[in-house]
Amino acid sequence: MNNNFRKIGIFCSGGDSPGMNACIRAIVKTCQKHLIQPIGIYRGYEGLIDGDFKELKNEHIRNILGQGGTILKTARSKRFMTPEGRLKAYEQIKKHQLDGIIAIGGDGTAKGALTFSKEFSDIPIVACPGTIDNDLFGTDYTIGFDTAINTTMQAIDKIRDTAHSHDRLFFIEVMGRDAGLIALYTGIATGAEAILIPETLTNIDELVQIIKHRWETQKTSCIVVVAEGDDAGGAFEVAKKVQQKFNEYDTRVSVLGHIQRGGTPTCTDRINASLLGVHAVKALLEGKKNVMLGILENEISYTPFEYAVKEQKSQYVQLLETFQFLM
Ligand code: F6P
């Protein structure tokens, strides 16, 4: 272990996710145990560029374990995508004498960290996977996914109640601009009749056949879960395309939106986020850099940034195959 670390900077970037606070808390506590000053960087890469830093003390992390969102705030930074922005960030790191950085975020965060690490290799960076989308390679899990799928599942269950009472067809849009795992998990968990995801091409005629069959054989509710990034469009667009070909059902569209990103984290999210936070500090002390931590088969994993953002997870294939038997 390297004991030369005096200050570690921590930030959240990209979309927030429930459990980020549990991760921050674990990082702060682990730093304190190693007599390292944990420095909070506010609003992600934006705060890194502006030097919006504050030492995190016990009072900052009290009672945050069960809070959704992030006490450090977050942002999607356009400035960090420019060489000038990254240079400013580097200068702030040097000025404030940070010896290492822990980023919590999703693929945009990892891409930013990857570019930065190539330009300024003297700053060790590791990342904890924080996104409700669970779309990072090298980890079975990302912070916030478990809470998000439970929130989404409960919302779809509620819609099913009313859909069933009225024998209606619902198109329910869930989050996932580029990733369909929220749609797949919650569609399977709620017994959806169809699930549309960005990873596969949507065939509207096939979808119409499924809906028609449901109408002709059961004349009861029908739920189509649509990931917002599906190639056929969002839920409103898909509904329109279907209605042009089959219009027997009384149809409604429901966009669940940002409700999926909030709320108190589940037990799984609190535990895994804490585990990742503790190991992120340990990783820096062990000399690891430019890696995204993760959890693979119940073990902590370390995936180089370039693979974390490029490769596709294999979970889709198995879930899609499973769904074929449940339709
Ligand atoms: O953080 C991931 C995510 O929630 C995606 O599922 C979604 O497509 C996107 O962020 C929405 O981002 P924003 O909050 O910027 O609208």
Region 141-149: mean pLDDT is: 98
What class does CATH assign to 146-261?
alpha beta
Going by C-alpha positions, the residue among 59, 52, 259 that lies closest to residue 155 is: 259
The DSSP call for residue 80 is G
Q: How far apart are CA 243 and CA 172, in angstroms?
A: 15
Q: Can you tell me the distance from the alpha carbon of 39 to that of 154, in angstroms, rounded to the nearest whole number?
A: 37
3 state SS of 51: coil
Domain ranges of the chain: 7-144+265-313, 146-261
If we measure between CA atoms, which residue out of 101, 122, 42 comes closest to residue 75? Answer: 42
Query: 37 C-alpha vs ligand 1 centroid, how far in Å?
Result: 32
Q: Does the C-beta of 177 come closer than 6 Å to ligand 1?
A: yes
Please determine whether the domains at 7-144+265-313 and 146-261 fall in the same fold group of CATH.
yes
**Which pLDDT belongs to residue 5?**
95
Q: In terms of pTM, does the model score above 0.75?
A: yes
Task: Please list the helix, strand and coil fractions of the chain in percent, rounded to the nearest 5, in that order.
Answer: 45, 20, 35
pLDDT at 224 over 80: yes
Confidence of residue 327 (pLDDT cuts 50, 70, 90): confident
Backbone angles phi, psi at 76, to 5 degrees: -105, 110
Tokens 């609190």, residue located: 270
Return the residue matching tokens 């820096």.
284
User: Is any ligand 1 atom within 6 A of the Cβ of residue 131?
Assistant: yes
Predicted local confidence at residue 84, as pLDDT = 98
Q: Is the CB of 107 under 6 A from ligand 1?
A: no
Cα dist from 131 to 141, 169, 223, whole Å:
9, 30, 26
Please give the distance of CA 176 from its chain centroid, rounded to a whole number.
9
Is the Cβ atom of 14 under 6 angstroms away from ligand 1?
A: yes
327: which 2 tokens?
Answer: 């339709």
Q: What is the spatial distance between Cα 131 and Cα 111, in angstroms, rounded to a whole number?
A: 14
| Nearest CA, atom 6, ligand 1 | 176
Confidence of residue 2 (pLDDT cuts 50, 70, 90): low
The string over 287-296, giving b where at least 16 C-beta atoms fall within 10 Å of a residue's C-beta and e elsewhere, is ebbbbbbbbe
**Measured distance CA(159)–CA(179) in Å, rounded:** 23
| Nearest alpha-carbon partner for 48 in 91, 100, 4 | 91
Please say whether the beta carbons of 132 and 165 come within 8 A. Answer: no
DSSP conformation letters of 244-300: TT---SEEEEEE-GGGGG-SPPPHHHHHHHHHHHHHHHHHHHTT--SEEEEEETTEE
* Residue type, position 73, single letter: K
pLDDT 10s digits, 264-298: 999 999 999 999 999 999 999 999 999 999 999 99
CA-proximal residue: ligand 1, atom 2 (nearest): 15
Ramachandran quadrant class, 9 (left: phi over 0; alpha: psi -120 to 50; beta: rest): beta
**Which one is catalytic: 99, 107, 133, 230?**
133
Q: Which residue has the least CA distance to atom 12 on ligand 1?
A: 15
1.10.3720.10, 3.30.70.330, 3.40.50.450, 1.10.510.10: CATH of 7-144+265-313: 3.40.50.450
As given in the structure block, the two tokens for residue 5 are 């670390």
Rounded Cα distance between 83 and 73, Å, is 23
CA distance 188 to 326: 8
Return the SS3 of 173.
strand
pLDDT 10s digits, 82-114: 999 999 999 999 999 999 999 999 999 999 999
Residue 161 has pLDDT above 80, yes or no: yes
Q: What is the mean pLDDT of residues 185-196?
A: 98
| Ligand 1 atom at minimum distance from 176 CA | 6
- Distance (Å, rounded) from C-alpha 295 to C-alpha 272? 8
- The separation between the first and the last C-alpha atoms of the chain, rounded to the nearest angstrom, is 52
Our answer to whether residue 133 is catalytic in this structure is: yes
Q: What is the pLDDT averaged over residues 193-204? A: 97
Please write the tens of the pLDDT for every residue from 240-262.
999 999 999 999 999 999 999 99
Average pLDDT, the chain: 96
Beta strand 194-196 with 222-227 is: parallel
The reply to whether ligand 1 has any atom less than 6 angstroms from the CB of 176 is yes
Q: What is the pLDDT of residues 289-322, one digit of tens each?
A: 999 999 999 999 999 999 998 877 888 889 999 9
